[in-house]
Amino acid sequence: MNHVLIVEDDADSARMMAALIGTMGPYTVATAGSLREACLQIELQRPDLVLLDLQLPDGSGMALFDNPEFTVNVQVVLITGHASLDTSIQALRLGAADYLIKPVGAVQLEGILSRFMKPDALQAELSVMTDALEREGHFGALWGRSDAMRRIYDQLARVSGTAATVFITGESGTGKEVVAQTVHELSRRRHSPFLAVNCGAVSPNLMESEIFGHEKGSFTGAERQHQGFFERAHGGTLFLDEITEMPQELQVKLLRVLESGSYARVGSSESQHADVRVIAATNRQPLEAVASGRLREDLLYRLNVFPVDLPPLRERASDVVLLAQHFLNDIARREGEVKRFAPEALERLGAYRWPGNVRELRNVVQRVYVMTTGPVIGDDWLPRNPPEPEEAPDPEISVKLGTSMAEAERKLILATMQHFDNHKERTAAALGVSLKTLYNRLKSYAEEDEAEAEPSGPEASPR
């Protein structure tokens, strides 16, 4: 029988949670109203699950983590007034499995208890996956033994057991959805749904209804109540791919859900509890997306609690043959005909730069399997790198003897500006001067040109 410790200074709330947990299964429950009482309770009977309020009379609930013996192999769930960015970062740093937003009700508690799993059980599963990586070359559904991918696996192992929001970046075709699926399958939410939404593939007019659902009659064509992705993913994980394609007004509502833990269907004022872990992804540079108005800055920082940046395939070339062989074996199992790569095919695969990343490699393997009639796949149907463009000669400027140093400097600066398409930062870097110095020179030249353009002499005077 698992033992639950509720650390909450509001006695009524603590009794209510204890009573609810008592009706939900074979649990023993104890309560503590302060850090001191919590420590005494832990020494009296070691808990399997701790529901820990952040605000206690004798300090922050986080102080319980100061003594590792109190939390080793214990699932800790934080209780907070709202799921702020600071709370998420603290939960991640300390290894909390989840957090509850006040007021805590039966639905929230039931969700936490349904996902109960001791940390050592998660670690045992990670050990099995690490062994498979060394033997077979894959970490779950992710393939590759390169250093770049091993760093990704370390990140996923660290974040999967927590409630932290994950933000995945990387070029198209690098496997962002597979990473999100791996996080879900390693998490305590694995037995609940994993739903993926491509925000760029949903009409902006329908996106709010698809994400949050709608009530019957809430708009023209709404002939029945519709459950949105948040509702259908209850207890599980919602993957929002290409988040930068979501309309700004909907980004505001998504931010509100992440902060408050609740939402409402379109056409309804009734609040729904969002027991969903959100993972987002984009193939754009996040800060550039913010600068261009495609992504709200406040939403970026709320999503970017745990960033994962996937490397392009060209930066993990040692994984290409392993991936190609994996895709070939997978196709052979489905089609019932075994084929193998010839040495020259493997050489061509390893030399290609793969601008479409893992997705392109998978499609190429599918194509050559179909086009090859015998058991051996040669290099006839494999892609080739385009020829390298000839490097243009470095541009030059000429200065006549007798030209003043100031004029020579002006000519060099303006020519360098033109070469870099008026990009001031790159120009300053190429010239080896500070950006401020470059700005001052350009301002001076503009003033000189303006002075030369002004009319002078008697004809300049008004008649």
Supply the DSSP string of 198-221, one letter for each residue.
ETTTS-HHHHHHHHH-B-TTSSTT
Amino acid at 410: R
Give the model's pLDDT for residue 456.
Answer: 56
**463 pLDDT tier (thresholds 50, 70, 90):** very low
Strand order in the sheet with 277-282: 194-198, 237-241, 277-282, 166-169, 306-309
pLDDT for the residue numbered 129: 95
- Model confidence over 181-235: pLDDT tens digits? 999 999 999 999 999 999 999 988 889 999 999 999 888 888 889 999 999 999 9
pLDDT in tens, 117-163: 888 888 999 999 999 999 999 999 999 999 999 999 999 999 998 88
For Cα atoms 143, 149, 155, give the angle at the middle one, nearest 5 degrees.
Answer: 115
Query: Could you give the angle at the alpha carbon of 70 between the alpha carbons of 67 and 74, nearest 5°?
Result: 130
Distance of CA 363 to the CA centre of its chain: 25
The per-residue pLDDT for range 322-352, each reduced to its tens digit, is 999 999 999 999 999 999 999 999 999 999 9
Count of helix runs (H) and strand runs (E) in the chain: 19, 18
119 by Cβ neighbours in 10 Å (0-12 / 13-18 / 19+) ranks as middle
Using the structure block, give the residue that is written with the tokens 């495609």: 294
Closest CA to 34 of 18, 15, 11: 11
The DSSP 8-state label assigned to residue 161 in this structure reads: T
d(CA 45, CA 168) in angstroms, rounded, equals 41
> What would the pLDDT profile of 396-440 be if each residue is shown by its tens digit?
888 888 888 888 899 999 999 888 888 887 888 888 888 778 888
What does the alpha-carbon distance between residue 178 and residue 450 come to, in Å, rounded to a whole number?
59
The string of pLDDT tens digits covering residues 64-98 is 888 888 888 899 998 887 666 776 677 767 778 88
Find the angle CA(42)-CA(45)-CA(50) to the nearest 5 degrees. 50
Tell me what the pLDDT averaged over the chain comes to. 90
CB contact at 8 A, 235 and 114: yes
Quickly list H helices, 29-105.
Answer: 35-44, 68-71, 85-94
In this prediction, residue 65 carries a pLDDT of 84
Nearest CA to 78 out of 58, 51, 102 is that of 51
Please state whether the predicted TM-score (pTM) of the whole model is above 0.85.
Answer: no
Rg (CA), the chain: 30
